[in-house]
Amino acid sequence: MAGRKKQEETVVKVNTTSVVQQTIDYLTGAIMRREYTPGSRIPTELELAELLGVSRNTVREAVKILVFMGVLEIRRPEGTFVCSGFSNSLIDPMLYGIILNQGDSYDSLMELREMMEVGVMHIVITKATDEEIESLREPLAALKATCLAKKPDLEKVVRMDDAFHQAINELGGNQMVNKISNMVRTLTHAMRRESVDHMLRTGRADELYRAHERIFTTLKNRDSENLNHMVRSTYFVNGQALD
């Protein structure tokens, strides 16, 4: 009898409203509190149902959603485990939410882009070695050859631009920042492509390349004080730099 009473006291009652979401909130909260650590097995479906006072079907649906999001993984027959490492699936729901939120304006995306690029470059200036920064010469040279071709190809220039910035991201050595930065670049792809297209159509491909050369020089000189101004000066809106 005493054992039964103790078990009842440990039951975490979940509200009847949106019980699946409440179960998800409990599991993610427990992971953030390190009650379940990366790579560890979470309680069984039956144990969670009893702990939370919900049906096994509710637990099953919550786990299914967290597996889709890349938070949990099912290893049969061992059980369900907290994922180790960072998955693209963790970013995807956030990305879709931002895309579907019509309240996000052009200015908001520009601010987000600037914040991420300045932050990434600050990390590179702080952490990357001189040799690692020198390695950016290769993607920069590829971008230069593409921009200064006799007839620059828009899609190729956009790809080389992305490759240069991705190389910068990787120098930062922070996987989470890298993923979020890639998400921001996905969100701003259309505006960046439009800017590149305008620069190429108006015969300013060299100016576009020089903007990226300034980025490399700033990183090479570890000039963190002028990062914000430098980054803004590389953004071309209707052919005009923001700074």
- Is the pTM here over 0.85, yes or no? no
- Tens-place pLDDT, residues 72-111: 999 988 999 998 876 655 556 655 566 556 555 677 778 8
Does residue 6 surpass a pLDDT of 60?
Answer: no
Nearest to 181 by CA among 101, 173, 73, 59: 173
Do 169 and 77 have their domain in common? no
Nearest to 164 by CA among 140, 147, 188, 130: 140
Q: Which residue has the tokens 């993607």?
A: 139
Do 103 and 36 have their domain in common? no
- Provide mean pLDDT across the span 155-178: 92
Are the beta carbons of 227 and 218 closer than 8 angstroms? yes
DSSP string covering 78-123? TEEEE--S--HHHHHHHHHHHHH-TT--HHHHHHHHHHHHHHHHHH
Q: Which residue has the tokens 């828009």?
A: 154
- Per the structure, the complete domain to which residue 114 belongs is given by 89-241
Q: Number of folded domains in the chain?
A: 2
Other Cβ atoms closer than 10 A to 191: 15
Does residue 180 surpass a pLDDT of 50?
Answer: yes
Do 62 and 132 have their domain in common? no
The fraction of the chain above a pLDDT of 90, given in percent, is 51
- Secondary-structure percent of the chain, ordered helix, strand, coil, rounded to 5: 65, 5, 25
